[in-house]
Amino acid sequence: MSELPVLIAGAGISGLLLAQHLQQQGVPFRLFEQDAAIDTRSGGWGLTLHWGLPALRELLPDHLVARLPETYVNKVAAARGDTGRFQFFDLQTGSALYSVPAAERIRVSRVRLRQLLATGLDIQWNKTLQSIDSESAPDRVTARCEDGTAFTGCLLVGCDGSRSRAREMLYPHGPKMRPLPVQLLGGAALYSPEEMAGAEAIDPFLFQGSHPETDVFFFFSLLDTPNNFDDSSKDKYLCQIIISWADAKGIAVPGDNAARLALIKSLTANWVEPFRGLVHNLPDTTEARSIRISDWMFRPAQNHAHPRVVLVGDSAHTMTMYRGEGANNAIVDVLDLTKRVDLRSLGSLTPEALREALAAYETDVFTRADPSVRNSRQACLDAHDFSRIVNGSPLVSARLRE
């Protein structure tokens, strides 16, 4: 085994999961992250884990697998074996057009999953990757950070997300992130049972829909339920509301938060209940965040400048949220990396052998994730064209490992 550590840039889901696996295997690593703490960008986001679950369990130590229920957004529903129906609704009539079945599926809080995966790990915070040096010696790579610190290892794994610095350095000439012609506004708020108006009975995790006349898309997700955690509200639900529409509608997103909330409510005024009420119950204090959607997919065998650097997760394949496959692909990326590269014997691998192993990993990832990126992109476009949804779309098809 090499005495040089594996360098992991980014303490997201994939970076933390890789670090947990390396720690189990006794492989030295250095994990560094640009944020100041695990909850710096806690955000109101949930993750749906389905076909990536077997890989997650294989990579994690048993004691952390046993603690996964600590991350569930609705532990009561999960305990009764409810995997959700994930229905898609016609927001003019209220009829359910589709459901997305799954033999196994869990919905987790992203920040709570990260907190669990960070258990027992030494993470270097406030370390923003500035440059990569892989020319000084053929058996090592050095990551330099903006604060002047540097980490030297035998391999650098870029797990630093959709705005990856590592990716920019590996692919300085492109391709660039591809923006999609969609505007999205979303927010999270606490709702009483009365304000929920039976939403949990529709689905204990999430549902979505669109209006056939306006093509405005709706996504509703539970992020927490009463008494779910010690710090949960005892009588309210934490809910995430997202609406989106095509640029072709010519509706600009206002710069003022109050105007953004007003726009959300005006675009949903003709929806049938309870969907209209779920949007119109958003408090005036809600932060209405605007997100510009983009995606990106790497191409194998194009990283020639830094042969000891490889990408994992959103750094390698940034997907839209309309199919919820990003986290599942990120988890399986880590497993594929551990299968293709003998991380316990990196010190004995020649540069040529390492590059061959990384190339095999990249082929695995591209073969699996490229269809997910394409399907997620099409799902995003179809979400804003009701005629495409009713005629079948990746937006409402089952989530199966490609």
How confident is the model over 277-299, as pLDDT tens digits? 999 999 999 999 999 999 999 98
Residue with tokens 């294989």: 58
pLDDT at 245 over 70: yes
CA distance 49 to 36: 27
CATH number for 20:
3.50.50.60
Is residue 360 situated within a structural domain? yes
> What integer pLDDT is reported at residue 41 of this predicted model?
67
The whole-number pLDDT of residue 42 equals 57
Q: Give yes or no for residue 2 having a pLDDT over 60.
A: no
Question: What pLDDT is recorded for position 387?
Answer: 94
Contact 249, 181 (CB under 8 A): no
Residue 26's pLDDT is 96
Banded model confidence at residue 31, pLDDT cuts 50, 70, 90: very high
Checking if the pLDDT of 76 tops 70, the result is yes
In a domain, 331, yes or no: yes
At residue 402, does pLDDT exceed 60? Answer: no
pLDDT at residue number 1: 40
pTM of the model: 0.96
Helix H, strand E, coil C: the string for 246-281 is EHHHCCCCCCCHHHHHHHHHHHCCCCCCCHHHHHHC
Number of independent structural domains in the chain: 1
Mean local confidence (pLDDT), 181-196: 97
Amino acid identity for residue 45 in this structure: W
Angle, helices 351-382/326-340, rounded to nearest 10 degrees: 170
Give mean pLDDT, residues 80-103.
95
**pLDDT band at 57, cuts 50/70/90?**
very high
3-state helix, strand, coil in the chain (%, to 5): 35, 25, 40
Once rounded to an integer, what is the mean pLDDT over residues 379-383?
Answer: 97
Residue 118 lies in a domain: yes
Q: Residue 229, class by beta-carbon neighbours within 10 Å (0-12 exposed, 13-18 middle, 19+ buried)?
A: middle
Structural domain boundaries enclosing 316: 6-71+107-177+294-383
Residue 188 CA to residue 211 CA, distance in Å, equals 22
Query: Nearest-CA neighbor of 306 among 112, 169, 146?
Result: 169
Residue 43 has pLDDT above 80, yes or no: no
The verdict on residue 199 lying in a domain is no
Task: Classify strands 155-158 and 6-9 as parallel, antiparallel or unpaired.
Answer: parallel
At 119-170, the pLDDT tens digits run 999 999 999 999 999 888 888 999 999 999 999 999 999 999 999 999 999 9
Residue in 110, 113, 281, 275 with CA at minimum distance from that of residue 190: 281
CA neighbor of 312 nearest in space, from 293, 292, 335: 335
- Rounded Cα distance between 64 and 114, Å, is 12
What whole-number distance in Å separates Cα of residue 270 and Cα of residue 56? Answer: 42
At 142 the pLDDT is 97
247-279 pLDDT, tens per residue? 999 999 999 999 999 999 999 999 999 999 999
Domain-located, residue 390: no
Residue 272 lies in a domain: no
Question: Which tens digit of pLDDT belongs to each residue from 190-210?
Answer: 999 999 999 999 999 999 999
Phi-psi region of 10 (alpha: psi -120 to 50; beta: other; left: phi over 0): left
Model confidence at 303, in pLDDT bands (50, 70, 90)?
A: confident
Identify the pLDDT of residue 44: 61
Rounded mean pLDDT of the chain? 94
pLDDT over threshold 80, residue 175:
no
Say if 275 falls within a structural domain: no
* Model pLDDT for residues 214-230, shown as the tens digit of each residue: 999 999 999 999 999 99
DSSP symbols for 102-140: -SS-EEEEHHHHHHHHTTT--EE-S--EEEEE-SS-TT-
- Angle between helix axes 110-117 and 13-25 (nearest 10 degrees) is 20
What is the distance between the alpha carbons of residues 9 and 4, in angstroms, rounded to a whole number?
15
Q: Which two tokens stand for residue 139?
A: 């058996």
Residue 82 belongs to some domain of the structure: no
Please report the pLDDT score of residue 282 as a whole number: 97
